[in-house]
A and B are shown apart, each in its own frame.
Chain A
Amino acid sequence: MGKYADENIRIFIDESLEHLADIENELLAIEQGGANIDENLVNKVYRAAHSIKGGAGFMGLVNIKNLTHEMENVLGKIRSREIVPASPVITILLLASDALRNLLNDIDNSNDAGITEHLEALKSITDGSFDEEKCADADLQPPTEMVNLSSPRENSNDGEVTGHPEAPDSITDGSSDKKKCEDTGLQPSTAGMVNIPSPSEKCIFSVADKDISDIRKDGKYLYLVELDFTQHVEMKSETLLNVIGDMKDCGMILDSRPDITTVEHLNVDKHSDGFPFLALFATVLKPADVDKLLNSNVINIYVVTEDFTVKPVSLEPVEKLPGTGDMPAIIKEDVAEESALPDVTAPHTSADVIASEPAAPESVEEVSGDETGDMPTMVKEDVNPPTEETGDTSKTKQPQTNLRVNIKLLDSLMTLAGELVLSRNQLLQSIFRKDRRSLEISGQRIDLITSELQEAIMHTRMQPIRNIFNKYPRVVRDLAMSLDKKMDLFIEGKEVELDKSIIESLNDPMTHLIRNAADHGIESPEFRIRQGKDPVGKIYLRAYHEAGQVNIEITDDGRGIDGDRIAESAVAKGLVSEEMVRGMSPGEKVHLIFLPGFSMSDKVTELSGRGVGMDVVKTNLDGLGGIVDINSVPGKGTTIHIKLPLTLAIIPSLLVSDGNERYAIPQVNVVELLRIPPYKIRDRIEQVGDAHVVRLRDKLLPLLRLSDVLGVERTYSDPKNGTEKPDRRKTIADRRSLKMPLFFDDETTGKMPADPGIENGGNTHEKEPDRRRVSDRRYHSQSAINIVVVSTGAFKYGMIVDALHDSEEIVVKPLGRHLKECRGYAGATILGDGRVALILDAANLARMAELTFVSGSDRASEVTEKFIPPGEDKHTLLIFRNSEKGRFAVPLELVERIKKIRCSDIEIVGGSRIIRYRGSSMPLFDMGDVAQVDAFEKKEKALVIVFYVAGLDVGLLAIPPIDSVKVAYTIDDTTLRQPGILGSAVIEEQTTLIVDVIGLIEALHPEWFSVERHMKQQVGKSKSVILAEDSKFFRNQMKCAIENAGYDVIEAEDGMIAWNLLQKNAGEISLVVTDIEMPNLDGFGFTQKVKQDGRFSDLPVIAVTSLAGKEDIKKAKACGVDEYQIKLDRKKLVECINHYLN
């Protein structure tokens, strides 16, 4: 084989892949046609296979040639209606085309790749059908001659090898082979068979004449090879298998004595004692080359001539290739071609030597069965190089990529380039002459040409989405078969064009979505019938343009997604907390599917549930600047909506400014713009905790201020002199008022936050009276708030910016390597004035602001809920450590929130640790400050558990990770009791100290509680409260809280005791606080007793519990409970008591 320029191979691959791309869909169409064979279609595939074969033969790509050859054989039979293109057949063909594609994509190693299974599978089809065919057309038998096989081994397999057109073996005498065929029950094999005698006349090979003619057509020679083992094996120390291997490598063994499989499977040595091995060998090698290949001094090689006689090769080294009489021209052509590559091996014909295959139909089934098992990989491989149609196959190894461009397009590009040059000349001239008018004209022209040029160049990169859509019929078909479902795929909008790079990266996520739809979406036919649906599921794949974006919809009419199950699963995996889920709409719950790490584990199947979740899909699409949305109606189906920019290089964007810089927000993320005039700010913008929200059409939209997320100092420019001043307002709705002028100090007095100083209403002019300022600011247009409502697909939020500018088409440029870690930017662009503007990544900004719609997921992932046997009284504890050894627990109800901090942010002021938190300083404590435990271990990061004690937020230092467990436990409050420590409990088999937060703070800062004490004294004779609570721990906590508020507490361990105590102390007690779940007498019963007793019916009853179901509340109300409080929200409890008692 000569050395071929890379270029030739390149062209070949490109072309072949193009052919292949067609083959797949046409095969599917053929399959659908079933017995009604559309010859045109089959011909098309046939031709495609044939051209690949031709090219491969020319290039010396043996495997590819062999494979296409076999495919061609099968197709030929389909065309001649010898085979019905049933699914199993098509499956084999499809798999073969996959294998072919892989070979093409890895052309360098294609000759070494193993394709035998495909070859066998294909052959089994041809063999099997041959059988039928043979039955059908009994034909003449060419003359036969008997060959002697000195000691033939019985080939026990032969009987089963019905597919084999060979005559039964073990023919030792010269009787007619027809008879033999009958003997072995292979009645049809007599028809259309050619018998080839061995030179020693002891053996006859019987070969289907169709095979022979095929061989001839392909320009192959047919040889009879005889090996004398006794000599050969010993002399050359080469085993028979090697020889067979050699032969197989460069041709096809049609038949052999003994059968190859026997030889291969049994010990060769057994055979080597003295009998020759005979094989019928078809190859393109010329006699002289065969000679070389097989070392003819130990092997006798005979050429089988046209009339099926054999002649020793050595005698006729250049014998003309024999052929069937009717196709001489073709043969010659082929011979010519092959003679160019003397050492190239050739494909073989349908007759197979590896003949232990069962009869064709069976084997087909078997293969298709296998295939389902292999399918995921197969499909994946098929899917990986997404570019085969574009001829861009290089993804695998070579970085070389080609793109086919319409020549017309190229011409128009050339024209445009020419025009551009002319305009440039004009422009330069105008500049030189300072001719303003012609400058304007050339400016306009250049503008025009540039946009045309841009469009034209874009077009060269545009590829129809067909390139990936065309794969899915196959994917769906394969899935349907392996899942035993029925489904149809409807594709719409194949012609929609997208940038090449987007199309390439779209492939994986789309495949995943399609698989999901087929696997999880569509139900089994039986189930569908039961549901009253059409047993055949439908998947729609739609692409269309809308608003300058490409929209893709994948809709199935399957079972839909049950939001609650998703939510459950997400909670179970610790991705979100239950509380968060509770507040979610069904739609939001479905969106949880996009959470990183989410997977419905109970539905994992081989096909789509392989640990790769929708989050990957989302990440992929995010990377493309796309947005994915999901809509699902349980029982009805699911729609996944993807929005993509047309191209990644140039995107329409909205320019905004914040601080001193301008930023670009891709238009795809922009939903709408919102401007809130100063006088409405107070009404529209609300604060929830420290988060701002805006009321937009009766929905709350979370707001984030760009400058905060980016950590830029907010500024506003002084309208008077244009200087930038820092903006010090803390909240959006911060308004200056007479009472609280915002800018107290002289330097800022009365500066207008002219830039819509985000929130702030206005400012006024210097030295004017406050009153004037207040009124003025309302009318200053610039003090309105500008909000860009952006969507990340899963959720929307409002981004507050200083100013909104135009929408512009921007060219995306990558940021340097030092800026890669800045996640808030998707790149940069150059604006008209030459300045650089950063492109904002809306999704990442939200993430940076921890604004994900499941915002607590970070924390939630640290929190796992442990299974608790029902019926036990259990509490959720937050387990934390302050050092390796110190393990503590605190009831989760006491915790306000948990905050991640960096240890470097901790400041030490006046001997105490503080951290800036929500604009003020929050004191930090460590368990080691009070209790006899190890001190806090400083690491890079720490967690602060925030409590609300004595009217203040205080933080307790902990090292991550923390955990929360719901357990039943008993506190040992004697052994380890000390200030700040309530006692110990064994939680998760470890001794854990239970933190007494109030005690801890009190020990450190008794003065903080003095106010309350003071209050207590004011109350004078304190009122008494009866507290019924079975859990000692909670009783203590509540007692402590109530006592701190200045009341006396009478404790009771259950409802009965409480009732008795109440009766004893009637008159003294002015309020009842009771738990609901208690032994002996529960809270409901206790309340009823209280309310029904005339003495106490006026007594307010506050129920505290962790039960918060609506029904419980109802029941409690029915029993006469005045107030219902969540256990351990001490602040509220105390407020509530105060309310009733004062």
Chain B
Amino acid sequence: MRRNKYADTKRKTVELCTFYVGSHQFGINILKVQEINKHVTITTVPQSQEFIIGVMNLRGRIVTVIELANKLGLASTAFGKKSRTIIVNSRDEYIGLLVDQIGDVVPVDIGKVEPPPVNIGGILGNFTEGVLKTGTGLIGILDVEEVLK
């Protein structure tokens, strides 16, 4: 089912913006990505859900920053030299995803995207659209909308 999403798009290749959460490499469709920010000042929002780090100011817009690791059930991300905030555009709203490290932009032949293996169930499985095998390892392709639900 999920692969159909890619099949539906007429284009043969999509570009993935890849990044790391912990040691895992993930990718999201680059068309979803608005920008990637380095060090941002984040205002914490008490009483919010735990995966929310806080809000930041993106040129006058208030952007909610989400700790992707928490959402994916992985070890939490600390702000560091390599950590980045990927600003994605979801339902007309900018949302920041905090990741440990940013990776390359990988062009992907849609045909090569495989459905997520059944054994990565759980939270991760719900968010994964597909899996791409590269020379170095697997890239989990995230369904951003699903993650941000």
Interface, chain A (partner B; CB < 8 A): 659-661, 710-712, 813-819, 821-822, 824-825, 827-828, 830, 834-838, 848
18 new A-B contacts, CB < 8 A, other than A659-B46, A660-B44, A835-B41, are A661-B46, A710-B46, A813-B62, A814-B62, A815-B45, A815-B62, A817-B93, A818-B95, A819-B52, A822-B45, A824-B46, A825-B45, A828-B43, A835-B57, A836-B54, A836-B55, A836-B56, A838-B55
Q: Cβ of B60: which chain A residues have Cβ within 8 Å of it?
A: 813, 830
* B61 proximal to A (CB < 8 A): yes
Q: Cβ of B21: which chain A residues have Cβ within 8 Å of it?
A: none
Asked if B48 and A822 make an inter-chain contact with CB atoms under 8 angstroms apart, the answer reads yes
Which residue on chain B has the smallest CB distance to residue A815? B62
Q: List 6 A-B contacts (CB under 8 A).
A: A818-B95, A819-B45, A822-B47, A835-B57, A836-B56, A838-B43
* B128 proximal to A (CB < 8 A): no
Q: With A813-B62, A816-B95, A818-B66 as given contacts, are A830 and B57 in contact (CB-CB < 8 Å)? A: yes
| A437 and B57 alpha carbons, distance in the complex (Å) | 30
Rounded to whole Å, the gap between the CB of B81 and the closest CB of chain A is: 21
| A574 and B61 alpha carbons, distance in the complex (Å) | 45
Rounded to whole Å, the gap between the CB of A811 and the closest CB of chain B is: 8
Q: With A834-B57, A836-B56, A836-B57 as given contacts, are A818 and B64 in contact (CB-CB < 8 Å)? A: yes
* B49 proximal to A (CB < 8 A): yes
| A661 and B56 alpha carbons, distance in the complex (Å) | 13
Which residue on chain A has the smallest CB distance to residue B61? A813
Rounded to whole Å, the gap between the CB of A712 and the closest CB of chain B is: 5
Asked if B46 and A711 make an inter-chain contact with CB atoms under 8 angstroms apart, the answer reads yes
Q: Cβ of A824: which chain B residues have Cβ within 8 Å of it?
A: 46-47
Asked if A815 and B46 make an inter-chain contact with CB atoms under 8 angstroms apart, the answer reads no
Rounded to whole Å, the gap between the CB of B50 and the closest CB of chain A is: 11
| A68 and B121 alpha carbons, distance in the complex (Å) | 68
* B106 proximal to A (CB < 8 A): no
Q: Cβ of A659: which chain B residues have Cβ within 8 Å of it?
A: 46
Which residue on chain B has the smallest CB distance to residue A707? B46
Which residue on chain A has the smallest CB distance to residue B93? A816
Asked if A828 and B46 make an inter-chain contact with CB atoms under 8 angstroms apart, the answer reads no
| A581 and B95 alpha carbons, distance in the complex (Å) | 47
Asked if B46 and A816 make an inter-chain contact with CB atoms under 8 angstroms apart, the answer reads no
Across the A-B interface, the 5 shortest Cβ-Cβ residue pairs: A816-B64, A710-B46, A836-B43, A828-B62, A813-B62
| A711 and B91 alpha carbons, distance in the complex (Å) | 30
Q: Which of B43, B66, B148 has its CB near the most chain A CB atoms (within 10 A)?
A: B43
Asked if A661 and B62 make an inter-chain contact with CB atoms under 8 angstroms apart, the answer reads no
| A818 and B56 alpha carbons, distance in the complex (Å) | 14
Q: Cβ of B91: which chain A residues have Cβ within 8 Å of it?
A: 817
| A660 and B43 alpha carbons, distance in the complex (Å) | 9
Q: Cβ of B49: which chain A residues have Cβ within 8 Å of it?
A: 818, 821
The digit string for B69-91, where 1 denotes a CB below 8 A from any CB of A, is 00000000000000000000001
Q: Cβ of B44: which chain A residues have Cβ within 8 Å of it?
A: 660-661
Asked if B55 and A819 make an inter-chain contact with CB atoms under 8 angstroms apart, the answer reads yes
Asked if A818 and B46 make an inter-chain contact with CB atoms under 8 angstroms apart, the answer reads no
Asked if B52 and A818 make an inter-chain contact with CB atoms under 8 angstroms apart, the answer reads yes
* B63 proximal to A (CB < 8 A): yes
Q: Cβ of B46: which chain A residues have Cβ within 8 Å of it?
A: 659, 661, 710-712, 824
| A661 and B54 alpha carbons, distance in the complex (Å) | 11
| A835 and B63 alpha carbons, distance in the complex (Å) | 12
Which residue on chain A has the smallest CB distance to residue B51? A818
Q: Cβ of B43: which chain A residues have Cβ within 8 Å of it?
A: 661, 828, 835-838
Q: Cβ of A815: which chain B residues have Cβ within 8 Å of it?
A: 45, 55, 62, 64
Q: Cβ of A814: which chain B residues have Cβ within 8 Å of it?
A: 62
Q: Cβ of B57: which chain A residues have Cβ within 8 Å of it?
A: 830, 834-836
The digit string for B135-147, where 1 denotes a CB below 8 A from any CB of A, is 0000000000000
Q: Cβ of A834: which chain B residues have Cβ within 8 Å of it?
A: 41, 57
Which residue on chain B has the smallest CB distance to residue A824? B47
Q: With A710-B46, A710-B47 as given contacts, are A836 and B62 in contact (CB-CB < 8 Å)? A: yes
Q: Cβ of B45: which chain A residues have Cβ within 8 Å of it?
A: 815, 819, 822, 825, 838
| A813 and B43 alpha carbons, distance in the complex (Å) | 14
Asked if B63 and A818 make an inter-chain contact with CB atoms under 8 angstroms apart, the answer reads no
Q: Cβ of B55: which chain A residues have Cβ within 8 Å of it?
A: 815-816, 819, 828, 836, 838
Q: Which of B41, B46, B47, B56 has its CB near the most chain A CB atoms (within 10 A)?
A: B46
Which residue on chain A has the smallest CB distance to residue B54? A836
| A710 and B148 alpha carbons, distance in the complex (Å) | 24
Rounded to whole Å, the gap between the CB of B147 and the closest CB of chain A is: 11
Q: Cβ of A836: which chain B residues have Cβ within 8 Å of it?
A: 41, 43, 54-57, 62
| A55 and B41 alpha carbons, distance in the complex (Å) | 58
Which residue on chain B has the smallest CB distance to residue A816? B64
| A815 and B61 alpha carbons, distance in the complex (Å) | 9
Q: Cβ of A825: which chain B residues have Cβ within 8 Å of it?
A: 45
| A240 and B46 alpha carbons, distance in the complex (Å) | 74
Q: Cβ of A819: which chain B residues have Cβ within 8 Å of it?
A: 45, 48, 52, 55, 64
Rounded to whole Å, the gap between the CB of B136 and the closest CB of chain A is: 33
| A836 and B96 alpha carbons, distance in the complex (Å) | 14
| A814 and B64 alpha carbons, distance in the complex (Å) | 11
Rounded to whole Å, the gap between the CB of A773 and the closest CB of chain B is: 31
Looking at the complex, which one of B47, B54, B148 makes contact with A711 (CB distance below 8 Å)?
Answer: B47
The digit string for B91-135, where 1 denotes a CB below 8 A from any CB of A, is 101010000000000000000000000000000000000000000
| A894 and B57 alpha carbons, distance in the complex (Å) | 54
Q: With A828-B55, A836-B57 as given contacts, are A816 and B62 in contact (CB-CB < 8 Å)? A: yes
| A712 and B66 alpha carbons, distance in the complex (Å) | 19
Q: Cβ of B63: which chain A residues have Cβ within 8 Å of it?
A: 816
Q: Cβ of A838: which chain B residues have Cβ within 8 Å of it?
A: 43, 45, 55
| A818 and B95 alpha carbons, distance in the complex (Å) | 9
| A877 and B148 alpha carbons, distance in the complex (Å) | 48
Q: For residues 26 through 59 of chain B, which have their beta carbon under 8 Å from a beta carbon of chain A?
A: 41, 43-49, 52, 54-57
Which residue on chain A has the smallest CB distance to residue B90? A817
| A660 and B57 alpha carbons, distance in the complex (Å) | 17
Rounded to whole Å, the gap between the CB of A160 and the closest CB of chain B is: 64
| A539 and B49 alpha carbons, distance in the complex (Å) | 49
Rounded to whole Å, the gap between the CB of B134 and the closest CB of chain A is: 32
Rounded to whole Å, the gap between the CB of B42 and the closest CB of chain A is: 8
Q: Cβ of A711: which chain B residues have Cβ within 8 Å of it?
A: 46-47
| A831 and B95 alpha carbons, distance in the complex (Å) | 20
Rounded to whole Å, the gap between the CB of A195 and the closest CB of chain B is: 70
| A825 and B52 alpha carbons, distance in the complex (Å) | 15
Q: Cβ of A837: which chain B residues have Cβ within 8 Å of it?
A: 43
Q: Cβ of B54: which chain A residues have Cβ within 8 Å of it?
A: 836
Rounded to whole Å, the gap between the CB of A93 and the closest CB of chain B is: 46
Q: Which of B62, B66, B95, B148 has its CB near the most chain A CB atoms (within 10 A)?
A: B62
| A824 and B143 alpha carbons, distance in the complex (Å) | 31
Q: Cβ of A848: which chain B residues have Cβ within 8 Å of it?
A: 47
Rounded to whole Å, the gap between the CB of B65 and the closest CB of chain A is: 9
Asked if A818 and B48 make an inter-chain contact with CB atoms under 8 angstroms apart, the answer reads yes
| A834 and B55 alpha carbons, distance in the complex (Å) | 12
Q: Cβ of B93: which chain A residues have Cβ within 8 Å of it?
A: 816-817
Which residue on chain B has the smallest CB distance to residue A833? B41
| A778 and B148 alpha carbons, distance in the complex (Å) | 50
Which residue on chain A has the smallest CB distance to residue B49? A818
Rounded to whole Å, the gap between the CB of B4 and the closest CB of chain A is: 27
| A822 and B56 alpha carbons, distance in the complex (Å) | 16
| A818 and B70 alpha carbons, distance in the complex (Å) | 14
| A824 and B48 alpha carbons, distance in the complex (Å) | 10
Rounded to whole Å, the gap between the CB of A446 and the closest CB of chain B is: 16
| A828 and B58 alpha carbons, distance in the complex (Å) | 13
Which residue on chain A has the smallest CB distance to residue B42? A836
Q: With A816-B95, A824-B47, A836-B55 as given contacts, are A830 and B62 in contact (CB-CB < 8 Å)? A: yes
| A1069 and B62 alpha carbons, distance in the complex (Å) | 76
Q: Cβ of A830: which chain B residues have Cβ within 8 Å of it?
A: 57, 60, 62
Q: Cβ of B62: which chain A residues have Cβ within 8 Å of it?
A: 813-816, 827-828, 830, 836
| A805 and B91 alpha carbons, distance in the complex (Å) | 36
Q: Which of A813, A816, A819, A848 has its CB near the most chain B CB atoms (within 10 A)?
A: A816
